[in-house]
Structure 1
């Protein structure tokens, strides 16, 4: 069984799963289109949400069986998280919303200026508890597994073999465009970026599964039980949120720190334990230092400030890239790898998104 897939194979799994899911969903939705609504949401939307997630998993698993791919290893389902990482995930979910929700609303306001009238995300209009739990399963649990296994499992694994940042940015773009919902493009790209970083920094898919669930859980819960929060948020306007206490800048600082702590919680045992006593020689890929037997003492506050400062230097980003590559646990081949299939996948979802955008302008 193959324990590694490369960029084109990751793209192939993405294209096949996306096409199969959307074709079957379209056919089935056409059969239930005239059945009306259920609790404020069209029955065809309920069916489409559920079927697409099921087919993502089925198509990817069938492809893997034919190609003899080790699904648990390739998707990183075989590795768990450290206890502290689980604790940090709800905080990361909130910080992600603080950063990207104001930006998403600014983007939505721009779409309004150019008279875009495409629909947002369909949500049930109900306060019935049992309907809420049905919706939670279909709109939060199922996407957390279906989309994460496809995107941060197969697709991120394949594209990361060309480089960890190539994989992170590429899957975030694919994730954003494949929904073909221009209103949500900014938020979905930001969420996809955080989800991919969480997987790369832990070498496990479970952080992304939980984080994706929390994102959808928060949105659905507020819509169902606290609609006044949405109304209050709209009255503030996106500009007040960009400049206030919950601003993008404050949220971004918080998000970066939390992601560093998440990485540190899972990789602390793998860090070199030594104290530099007399300089050393540093190369692009490694460094050699003289050291004694005394372990390097770690101070979480100092390390966090040092990490944040490294974001503003070229060498800092090089160190971050090396650290993510190591924690991602996927061997990279560099830019020599053929990625024609990746560009084909990107072209397909870009066309899909453009069609949706044009329809919203007509």
Structure 2
């Protein structure tokens, strides 16, 4: 990932003579923003679990890739597994998706940006079974980055969510693992929790936005009304040009490398 995702991002920023701080949104965050980020990690779990169950039902087989196979990359070492499955994707994928790709959509309405970035994030994982789950997570992470004007909360969320999966595999009888399995296997309870999850996520994002003093939000929101019919085509072209092509190219290259490695 560092070679095929992080390195191209660094080269792109250097070649285009852009600011690392601006493109990657390397800004400080407040303790309140970190607190809301941690609450969001808990809030989105039932919602994404329901999306996973629906996809599993539609496609007729298991949603999650075998964590045992993934953990094998760490040779059974917990810290190595956390580095490979949690630390590396959190840094590389966020720098790419919520850094370079998101930077290309600064003048697009925020809701369009969030959906586009989320879907690209889902497709980037090259696993159709994960598309619904990862797209939802990608949308939420996009809002988090824009509302905080910082990539750090997204990296934190990404790391913690992946780390929880690793820890559940390592400690399948833990309280968290048992609770997660309990509500995910009870469809009625899962639906009810998902409704609460959606409401809680929306409220937390509203709270996060109110804490922010980010001009990028006003810029993206204002573009909803400022784009005139005469230049709508130009914005449409901007919306699908280099960020989408870059995401597709890196995704294809990375997929081929993973297939070759297998």
Cα displacement string for residues 82-120 of structure 1 (whole angstroms, at most 9, x for unaligned residues) = 1111112111001111211122122112211xx799955
* 2:99 matches 1:150: no
Structure 2 residue aligned with 1:123, among 67, 70, 73? 70
| TM-superposed deviation, 1:239 | 1.9
TM-score by length of 1: 0.58
Structure 1 residue aligned with 2:56, among 92, 104, 108? 108
Look up the match of 1:237: 185
**Residues 234 and 105 of structure 1, relative CA distance in 2, 3 Å threshold:** farther
**Residues 223 and 249 of structure 1, relative CA distance in 2, 3 Å threshold:** same
Structure 2 residue aligned with 1:75, among 15, 24, 29? 24
- CA contact 1:126–1:224 (8 Å) conserved in 2: no
**Residues 248 and 327 of structure 1, relative CA distance in 2, 3 Å threshold:** farther
Look up the match of 2:241: 341
Look up the match of 1:36: none
- CA contact 1:202–1:328 (8 Å) conserved in 2: no
The aligned length equals 242
Structure 1 residue aligned with 2:145, among 195, 199, 218? 199
What SS does the aligned partner of 2:70 have? coil
Cα displacement string for residues 244-284 of structure 1 (whole angstroms, at most 9, x for unaligned residues) = 4xx210111111111222222334xx8xxxxxxxxxxxxxx
* 2:114 matches 1:168: yes
Look up the match of 2:44: 96
Q: What CA distance in whole angstroms lies between the structure 1 residues aligned with 2:91 and 2:109?
A: 25
Q: What CA distance in whole angstroms lies between the structure 2 residues aligned with 1:193 and 1:74?
A: 18
Q: What CA distance in whole angstroms lies between the structure 2 residues aligned with 1:193 and 1:348?
A: 18
Which shows bigger deviation, 333-342 or 133-142?
333-342
- CA contact 2:63–2:130 (8 Å) conserved in 1: no
Structure number with the higher strand fraction is: 1
- CA contact 1:74–1:157 (8 Å) conserved in 2: yes
| TM-superposed deviation, 1:343 | 8.9
**Residues 263 and 54 of structure 1, relative CA distance in 2, 3 Å threshold:** farther
Q: Which has the higher contact order (CA 8 A, sep 6+)?
A: 2
Look up the match of 2:158: 212
Look up the match of 1:3: none
What SS does the aligned partner of 2:105 have? helix
Look up the match of 2:259: none
Question: Whose Rg is larger?
Answer: 1
Q: What CA distance in whole angstroms lies between the structure 2 residues aligned with 1:97 and 1:178?
A: 21
Q: Which runs of no fewer than 5 residues in structure 2 stay unpaired?
A: 256-262
TM-score by length of 2: 0.78
Q: What CA distance in whole angstroms lies between the structure 2 residues aligned with 1:330 and 1:118?
A: 39
Look up the match of 2:217: 325
User: Counterparts in 2 of 1:32-47, with a 5 A limit?
Assistant: none
Q: What CA distance in whole angstroms lies between the structure 2 residues aligned with 1:157 and 1:213?
A: 21
User: Counterparts in 2 of 1:126-145, with a 5 A limit?
Assistant: 131-145=77-91
* 2:8 matches 1:62: no
Q: What CA distance in whole angstroms lies between the structure 2 residues aligned with 1:158 and 1:328?
A: 12
| TM-superposed deviation, 1:176 | 0.2
User: Counterparts in 2 of 1:341-360, with a 5 A limit?
Assistant: 341=241, 345=245, 348=248
| TM-superposed deviation, 1:53 | 3.9
Q: Which runs of no fewer than 5 residues in structure 1 stay unpaired?
A: 1-51, 271-322, 356-362
Structure number with the higher helix fraction is: 2
